[in-house]
Structure 1
Amino acid sequence: MNSDELTAAEIARIADVGRAAVSNWRKRHADFPQPVGGPANSPTFDREEVEQWLMANGRAPGTASAAASGDVLGRLVRSLAPEGHEILDPAIGDDLPPQPLGSAQAVACIAPTVAPPADAPVGEFGQPGRHDAALAWVQVCLAYTAKGGTAVVAVPFSAAVRATGRRIRAELLRAGALREVVGLPELPGGPWQIWVLTRPAGRPVYQVRLVDLTDLTPAELPRSAVDWDSIHGDGARTRTMQSIELLDGEVLLVPSGYVVGMAEDVRPQLEAARAAYAGLVGGLAAEAPDTINVTDTPSWPLVSIVELARTGELTVTRGAAEPGDVLVRALSGEFAPSVATESTGDTHGATILRCRPDVLDPYFLAGFLRSEINRRQASGTSGGTFRLDVKRARVPRMPPSEQRRYGDAFRELIAFAAAADAVARAARDVTRTAVQGLTNGTFAPPSQGK
């Protein structure tokens, strides 16, 4: 098969969905790319056309929505899954898994936005409505879960509040199957929750742990079992309720409506947060990079990424990244390149520019790719939607010594941006702690006139 062509399985892997989702896209979207090769039962599609379609429909790897679902949500469901067991994801593969129903001790899934196949094990807790695909996938996951096993499912926020899903939510509570609901911050791809479910091995425990993480940033979300232990022990974020308390008229599963910070004396935390903020603010000025004004604009000749690849100065590839690789993703219609500092696994469809270090400095390359000229040069429209082609971008032709000088400047800018992000996180920590103290009685507002 041509490397510029993709099978349906490869499209599913790139978009972080199941094969069933790709099949449904082909049936339901008239503008989905037509096959360019392969047999009728396993056609192939043009890579560029597919990437353009994924981008236009908010499903492309590297778009903000895909990053949220592919990176943040994937990490969260894996970190909550029980350790020591092979994890089953029913939404991955050509069809539903061949594994017997009720046999998996650990199931983890990001609920696709399209319904599971018609023969999927759905209905034990009620038939979902046409817009409740996530609740169908929750039931699929539970169908594969063994007694005493755990299923961790990322669901859109709508699954917790939409009226058409009220009966299914109620039945999950009545069965003792729903054990935890985690409210997440607003992600670029939309609001999501994590549900932790079980198939009781004995008498059900009719309790639900509600966790409110809506005030965190995606970078601050838990990454390991140790992180979750800390979250679960924090009374300001976690509350355990009897299932029956949630069985009101609407059966709304919104942790922020139930989790209320305890009247904890947060003065030590606020003092520490303010000290950390002050230290970071003081260091931010030192991180601000210096530049030198020039009287004449340099007239370096420009060379395209295509030409650099042709002459062997870089290689355009995908997949796993190596230290020094330049990763290019399309975020909100613009280039957002970064330099990898360590080896990584799959980069979720990012274009990788692997520089020959003796002739091309990666920070120089990444910096000039961010230019406004390159954003315009490398972007265009396809059917009125944004598309990205990094090969169109051009950078100045400079000797390696001059590249390194520019690369060092771009590296300083990256460090400055990281320092500014740290200050912003510290400011949010100060604000959150102060709000908690004001709302739980630890603090009072200053007197008027002061």
Structure 2
Amino acid sequence: MARERVEVTSADIARIAEVKPTAVSNWRRRHDDFPQPVGGTDRSPRFDLAQVEAWLRGQGKTAVIPAGQRLWQAFDSVRGVMAPDDALGMVGLLLLHLRQHPGVDLPASREGFSRLMQEAEHSFVAGRGVGAGVTDLAARALPFEYGARQLHLLSAAAEAAAADGPAQTFDTLCSRLLEGGPRAGFAATPPGLAQLMVELAGPAEGTMLDLACGSGTLLLAGAEHGYTRVHGQELYPALARLAALRLAFRNAAEAPVSFDIRTNDALRQPEYARGRAAAAVCNPPFAERNWGYDELTHSPSWEYGVPARPESELAWLQQALAHVRHDGAVVMLLPPAVAARPSGRRIRAELLRRGALRAVVSLPPGAAAHYALALQLWVLKRPGQDAPAQRLLMVDAAGREAAGPWRADDAGWATVRGLVMEAWTDFTADPDGFGEREGPASWGGVARAVPVIDLLDEEVDLSPRRHLPLPTVPGISRAQLISKHQRLSAILSELIRQLPEVPSPPTLAPTVVADARTATLDELAKSGALFLRRAAPTAAGRGAEEVAENLIEGRVLTAGDVLRGQTPSKVDQIPADELRNPPIRQGDVLIPTLGDRMVARVATADDAGAYLSPTVYLARVDPSVLDPWFVAGYLSSSDGSRQAERLTSTLGASTRFEPRRVRVPLLPLDTQRAYGDEFRRLAEFNRTLSAAHDLGQQLVRDATDAITAELSGVGDGPCALSFAAEPVRAT
């Protein structure tokens, strides 16, 4: 059987050869026989894996590619002829068959593979716990096409299964694809979030339902929580097949659960009977315009009001409520706008009046695929015989965050899950007495049981932060204020010491001035006098296929950091390929592309190892030709800034700069260094000036808070400082 060509990136080659990406760049420059690109772009070329392996062997660089990595490369190569979800379903079917029938020999022909996959389909639908919907899904699915790339992918999957086991191979492939970011109509639910949602639904009794199950993460979480029956409905057959395969793999390893996955639009054509499920847990599509408003006006599910056209999320919510039994739980992941949009006010009010809505939880930003939003969890119960609830629990899950951004890793989810479940448990035990704890464990600023009557105003805004008190902040002590005061005094003394004299630039001989040429940064880069580069996009600005490449977490330097003279302030997922995204080195010239004026600076040891944001250029000079302080100083001058402004445009209050065409005088290196020394002294003074400004602002703010704390009885005693001290004098 012919082998299909597999393409790899420079980063892949570096991983295969166990070298840094910069080594691959050096090989390409130094070795004329290095394989030529066969695809990709100039910035991200792709190479034939077989040619790369042959070249590495010829160089004596033995390369052992793990079977799992070969599988991912084969999976990546099949994208042009097969949708990723379909490819994953095909591979999963084979891997499940190998899991259930170890020792199966792979056929050598296309016809043999077709027969093997038919056998895999039959054993899949005959597996433990498989429902009728899965059987119907398999019967209606179009047969796979077995071209050269598909056959190579299946062979690579079998090799990976032999090395790592079928279940581990499938799980790794699923994780890598699902972590690639949201796609049209589908955004994967993080496992930590799925676990929290299932726990909020209460004890595992009866059937758990997900009306928009996607790849089945919530159903898997339900099975792990203890549900013995899980049902899902999904619009897209490829995702429904993937969900069923994941549950089948789970059943092959643990106590089986009964599962059923059906395909159809759950709003227009729900496949399961209303009023039967014990719980419904769902991450529905957001902001759907064509959700069925015109066809579903008289739907029996609209018990709390007909959703307006913009309120697709409230349609999903009511459909879920209609599918659970009385006193059944519903947990929905929703965008924050659902809590406040005027078009949903009447339905929100009715949910409150009838006691259906029990809690609204605001998650930290970045908790799911919609990175810029602080998504919300709504916890509901279908009203039964009990009197309507008189209080609504509101939780801000970011209310007790430590300093720095929240991270969606295992530790971050454990913190959020612990906080939310503790608040929910306390609330359900005693809604009227919730929030009476005092001290560090109090719920101030984090959670509150809000009387329903207080929410039934003209807006019915259910955004948690609107109804939570400000967090309790302990008063700052006098010792802390004195310490900051002393630090500011020391910085001001240093500032006076660094105060530059009236500059006396080096005197240039007339011949030097007459002979001096200029060159743009672009021209200098082409001549090799400097290396000029911008950043590759971060994870938030990349498509799903790009994000699937190898990413690492790193510090990111923004334009604001350069302008304020501070160290890198962000942490993000960035491409690991150092050819596309080189880390900063000490001595690099950092040039922001946004600001009031162009202000370049030279990277310090604190900047080294960080990565650029897309709004910063990096210029790495050849020290035998250019002095970095001279280049940074000239770019920061009014002349350099004006040149950059003339070549670009203004965005509101900020100007976008294009530094590549700014002309820099080409002076003798000794003269550059003399100017560079002057620029460096000015930069050090500016850095100290910025530090004094920032610390002074902090001291004023903290002193103000300390005085306010005294007035409200929060402080630890008189804290006000007298600022009528002796003025700082130069020594």
**What TM-score bracket applies, with the shorter chain setting the length?**
0.5 to 0.7
Structure 2 counterpart of 1:304, one-letter code: T
Give the drift of 1:278: 0.4
Q: Deviations over 1:138-159 (max 9, x none)?
A: 99xx9xxxx9999697x6xx77
**Equivalents in 2 of 1:128, 1:342: separation in Å?**
53
Please list, as runs of the form range in 1=range in 2, the aligned pairs for 1:137-216 lying within 5 A after superposition.
Answer: 163-164=342-343, 166=345, 175-176=357-358, 178-180=360-362, 194-197=374-377, 207-210=393-396
Structure 2 counterpart of 1:413, one-letter code: N
Cα contact 1:212–1:238 (8 A) shared by 2: no
Q: Show the counterpart of 2:73.
A: none
Q: Any idea what SS the aligned residue of 1:238 has?
A: coil
Q: Show the counterpart of 2:597.
A: 334
CA distance 1:374–1:383, shift in 2 (3 Å): closer
In the alignment, structure 2 segments of 5+ residues that lack a partner are 1-39, 45-174, 190-212, 221-285, 297-301, 321-328, 366-371, 384-388, 420-439, 536-580, 721-731
Question: Is 2:619 the partner of 1:353?
Answer: yes
Structure 2 counterpart of 1:101, one-letter code: G
CA distance 1:296–1:360, shift in 2 (3 Å): closer
Cα contact 1:211–1:239 (8 A) shared by 2: yes
Question: Is 2:500 the partner of 1:286?
Answer: no
**Equivalents in 2 of 1:345, 1:148: separation in Å?**
43
**Equivalents in 2 of 1:101, 1:381: separation in Å?**
48
Q: Show the counterpart of 2:456.
A: 248
Structure (1 or 2) with the greater helix fraction = 2
**Equivalents in 2 of 1:394, 1:120: separation in Å?**
56
Please list, as runs of the form range in 1=range in 2, the aligned pairs for 1:99-114 lying within 5 A after superposition.
Answer: 100-101=213-214, 103-104=216-217
CA distance 1:96–1:427, shift in 2 (3 Å): same
**TM-score using structure 2 length:** 0.35
Please list, as runs of the form range in 1=range in 2, the aligned pairs for 1:36-435 lying within 5 A after superposition.
Answer: 92-93=182-183, 96-97=186-187, 100-101=213-214, 103-104=216-217, 118=289, 163-164=342-343, 166=345, 175-176=357-358, 178-180=360-362, 194-197=374-377, 207-210=393-396, 222-223=405-406, 233=440, 238-242=445-449, 244-245=451-452, 247-249=455-457, 250-252=459-461, 253=463, 255=465, 258-260=468-470, 266=475, 269-288=476-495, 289-294=498-503, 301=516, 302-319=518-535, 320=581, 321-324=583-586, 325-340=588-603, 341-345=607-611, 347-380=613-646, 386-398=655-667, 399=669, 401-402=673-674, 404-406=676-678, 408-409=680-681, 410-435=683-708
CA distance 1:425–1:329, shift in 2 (3 Å): same
**Equivalents in 1 of 2:216, 2:451: separation in Å?**
29
Q: Deviations over 1:267-311 (max 9, x none)?
A: xx2413421330221122134233232467866755431232132
Q: Any idea what SS the aligned residue of 1:351 has?
A: strand
Q: Any idea what SS the aligned residue of 1:292 has?
A: coil
- Percent of aligned pairs sharing the same letter: 18
Cα contact 1:178–1:208 (8 A) shared by 2: yes
Q: Deviations over 1:291-347 (max 9, x none)?
A: 232467866755431232132121221223322333333334533545451223462
CA distance 1:383–1:223, shift in 2 (3 Å): closer
CA distance 1:349–1:393, shift in 2 (3 Å): same
Structure 2 counterpart of 1:313, one-letter code: A
Give the drift of 1:180: 2.9
Structure 2 counterpart of 1:422, one-letter code: L
**TM-score using structure 1 length:** 0.53
Q: Show the counterpart of 1:16.
A: none
Cα contact 1:438–1:445 (8 A) shared by 2: no
**Equivalents in 1 of 2:523, 2:665: separation in Å?**
12
Structure 2 counterpart of 1:248, one-letter code: L
**Equivalents in 2 of 1:314, 1:4: separation in Å?**
18
Cα contact 2:534–2:616 (8 A) shared by 1: yes
Larger radius of gyration: 2
**Equivalents in 2 of 1:274, 1:87: separation in Å?**
51
Q: Deviations over 1:97-151 (max 9, x none)?
A: 4884374469xxxxxxxx8565689999985776x99x89x99xx9xxxx99996
Cα contact 1:374–1:393 (8 A) shared by 2: yes
**Equivalents in 1 of 2:666, 2:441: separation in Å?**
55
In the alignment, structure 1 segments of 5+ residues that lack a partner are 6-84, 107-114, 184-191
**Equivalents in 2 of 1:257, 1:98: separation in Å?**
30
CA distance 1:127–1:359, shift in 2 (3 Å): farther
CA distance 1:347–1:92, shift in 2 (3 Å): farther
CA distance 1:175–1:426, shift in 2 (3 Å): same
**Equivalents in 2 of 1:200, 1:436: separation in Å?**
39
**Equivalents in 2 of 1:420, 1:88: separation in Å?**
46
Q: Any idea what SS the aligned residue of 1:343 has?
A: coil
**Equivalents in 1 of 2:694, 2:702: separation in Å?**
12
Structure 1 counterpart of 2:342, one-letter code: A
Cα contact 2:521–2:659 (8 A) shared by 1: yes
Give the drift of 1:392: 2.5
Give the drift of 1:193: 7.0
Structure 1 counterpart of 2:502, one-letter code: N
**Equivalents in 2 of 1:417, 1:336: separation in Å?**
14
Higher relative contact order (CA 8 A, sep 6+): 1
Q: Any idea what SS the aligned residue of 2:585 has?
A: coil
CA distance 1:405–1:439, shift in 2 (3 Å): same
Structure 1 counterpart of 2:662, one-letter code: A
Cα contact 2:584–2:612 (8 A) shared by 1: no
